[in-house]
Amino acid sequence: MAKQRATIVRGGRLINAGGQRAEAADILITGDSIGEVGPPGLPAPADAVAIDARDRLMHPGLINAHMHGHGNLAKGMGDRWTLELLLAAGPWITGSRTLEDKYLSTYVGAIEMLLKGCTACYDLTVEFPLPSVDGLDACGRAYADAGMRAVLAPMVAEFSFYEAIPGLLDALPPPLQKEVERLRLAPGEATLNAMRQSMQGWTFDRAQVRPAVAPTIPHHCSDDFMRRCATLAREFDVGLHSHVQESKAQVMVGLKRYGKTQTAHLQDLGLLGPDFTVGHGVWLDHDDMQRLGDHGASVAHNPGSNMRLGNGLADARGMLERKVNVGIGTDGANCSDNLNMYESMRLASMVSKTQGPDTDRWLTTGEVLAAATQGSARALGFGDRLGRIAPGYKADIVFLDLHNVNWLPFNNAVNQLVHTEDGSAVHSVMVGGRMVVEDRRVTGVDMAALAQRVEKTRERLEGATRPNKQLFEQVEQVVNSFCPGLAKMPYHVDRFGGGHHGHEHAAWVKRV
Ligand SMILES: [Zn+2]
C-alpha cells in the first residue's frame, strides 16, 4: 500500500483554550493524525499537500456530548413543552420511522453539526419498541457518509413514559389508558440481545463510529436492567449514558422510588465509573456531584435544552469543583431545535454567570471551550485522541474565516470564540485529516436534493404519525397538570452549602 502523503497547514492562527491569544502556527498532519505543531516554517516532507490557512483561526473540532439523531426531523415542532410533554410527544414527533427515515434524520444532524464546527457527537438514538441491528447500522452509516465521528448509543428502557411515572397512568381516563398501552416497549431481555447483536457485528471503524449503551432514564428501567446494561457496556468496553436528574419531576419520582437521589442509587447499582456520562444533571446536589467526581464520571451539560424545557440551570462550577468531567452538548433538535455548539458554549457561559454575584465562581470562556472540546472528548471515550490540536491527536480541525464580521475586530480569541462566534464564520472543517467542509459546503452534498428528500419524508411522516399526534393532544392536559404537580412539591437542592456562602440560585428551583 502506498504511503499516505502528509499534509501541511500553513499560515493560520491556532487557538488555545488555556490562553487568550491565538499564535501563528503550522500543523503537520500524517495519515489521520496530527504529527507536529510548530511556529511558521515548520519543516514538512517535500511532497506534503499544502493547505493555505492565511486569515483563518483554527480550533479543535467541537464535540457534542449529548444529542439525539432521531430528533433532527422534529425541529421546531413544539413550543411550551416541559420535558414530560416532550416525552409524551415522542411517538408523534419522532415515531413511525422507516430505516431510510432513521438514516436521513441522523444524516441531517451530521450535516448541521459539521457546518457548525462540530466534528464528533454522542448520539442517543431511539427505535421503537427496541433497537435493531439494521437501525443502528443505518444511523452509523449516516455519520460515516457525512464524514463525522459519533458514539452511537441506543436509548433503551423497559417502561414507557406512562408506566414510569407512578400515578400517571391512573390519572388518564380508561379509554386513554388502553390507548397508551400500544406504546409499551419490548421486554428487557430482547432489548439487551439486540444491543449485543449490534455490537458483535459492528462494522464501522471504532475510531469513527463506535457503539455505547444508554439506559434512557433510571426510573424507566428496572434495577436489574440497569445493571445488565452496565455489564453489557463493560463487556464490549463501550460507554454508558443516562439522563439523570434532568427535571424536577424526575427527581421527585426518583426519591419516591429509591428513597435517595438517582445518582446515589446508580452508585449502589455499580453504574458510576469513568465510562459513565450523566445527561444534564440539572438537579444534582453536592453529594451527587461528589459521587460522580469520585468515580471519574462525566456530565453532559446542555444549557439550551435545560432552559427550553424549563428544567432549570445546571451548576457546572459545582461539578468542576468536585472533579466531575464536564462536557457540553446541544441535546436533540426535537427539544433545543438546533445543534449549534457555539450557541451551547455561549449559553454555558451565560448560565454560569446568572447563578450568583461571585465572579470567581463563574465559568471562564477558557473553561467553557475546554469543556466543549476536551471534556466532551473524555465523555465520548476519546479523551486521548480528540479535543486538542496536538501531536498524536486526530486531525479534527475547524478553520474560521477571520474576515467574517464576528472577528472584526479580533480582540481576544477565546472570549470571541465562546461569546461572539455563532457558526457563521466556519469556512472549512477537517476530520481525520480530510476536508469535509470546504468554503461553507459539506463536500459531496447536494443541499437542494437533500432538501427535497427531507420535505418528502416530512410530508409522509406527517400522515403516518397522525394517530400519535391525536393521542398526544388527548393526553397533553393530563400530563401537563400531573407532572408540574410533582415539580411543585417542596425539594431543596443544597448546592451552595459546604463552604460556599448563601448565593441565591437563579433557577426556578429555589422559588418553589
Ligand atoms: Zn437527551
Per-residue pLDDT of the chain (512 residues; tens, 9 = 90+): 456 789 999 999 999 767 778 999 999 999 999 999 999 999 999 999 999 999 999 999 999 999 999 999 999 999 999 999 999 999 999 999 999 999 999 999 999 999 999 999 999 999 999 999 999 999 999 999 999 999 999 999 999 999 999 999 999 999 999 999 999 999 999 999 999 999 999 999 999 999 999 999 999 999 999 999 999 999 999 999 999 999 999 999 999 999 999 999 999 999 999 999 999 999 999 999 999 999 999 999 999 999 999 999 999 999 999 999 999 999 999 999 999 999 999 999 999 999 999 999 999 999 999 999 999 999 999 999 999 999 999 999 999 999 999 999 999 999 999 999 999 999 999 999 999 999 999 999 999 999 999 999 999 999 999 999 999 999 999 999 998 888 888 887 766 433 333 333 334 443 33
C-alpha of residue 253 to centroid of ligand 1, in Å: 18
C-alpha of residue 483 to centroid of ligand 1, in Å: 18
Helix, strand or coil, per DSSP, at residue 273: coil
Helix, strand or coil, per DSSP, at residue 149: strand
What's the distance, Cα to Cα, between the start and end of the chain in Å? 66
R_g (Cα) of the chain, nearest Å: 22
What is the structure's pLDDT at 309? Answer: 97
Lookup: cell for 377: 472528548
Cα distances from 123 to residues 134, 150, 190, in angstroms, run 16, 7, 22
- Which residues contact residue 469 at a Cβ distance below 8 angstroms, ignoring those fewer than 6 apart? 92
What is the structure's pLDDT at 512? Answer: 33
C-alpha of residue 41 to centroid of ligand 1, in Å: 45
C-alpha of residue 302 to centroid of ligand 1, in Å: 9
Helix, strand or coil, per DSSP, at residue 349: helix
What is the structure's pLDDT at 509? Answer: 43
C-alpha of residue 23 to centroid of ligand 1, in Å: 37
What is the structure's pLDDT at 494? Answer: 61
Lookup: cell for 101: 427515515
Count of C-beta atoms within a 10 Å radius of residue 512: 12
CB 199 within 8 A of CB 136: no
C-alpha of residue 47 to centroid of ligand 1, in Å: 46
What is the structure's pLDDT at 17? Answer: 67
What is the structure's pLDDT at 283? Answer: 96
CA angle 426, 143, 399 (to 5 degrees): 15
C-alpha of residue 332 to centroid of ligand 1, in Å: 6
C-alpha of residue 193 to centroid of ligand 1, in Å: 23
What is the structure's pLDDT at 484? Answer: 82
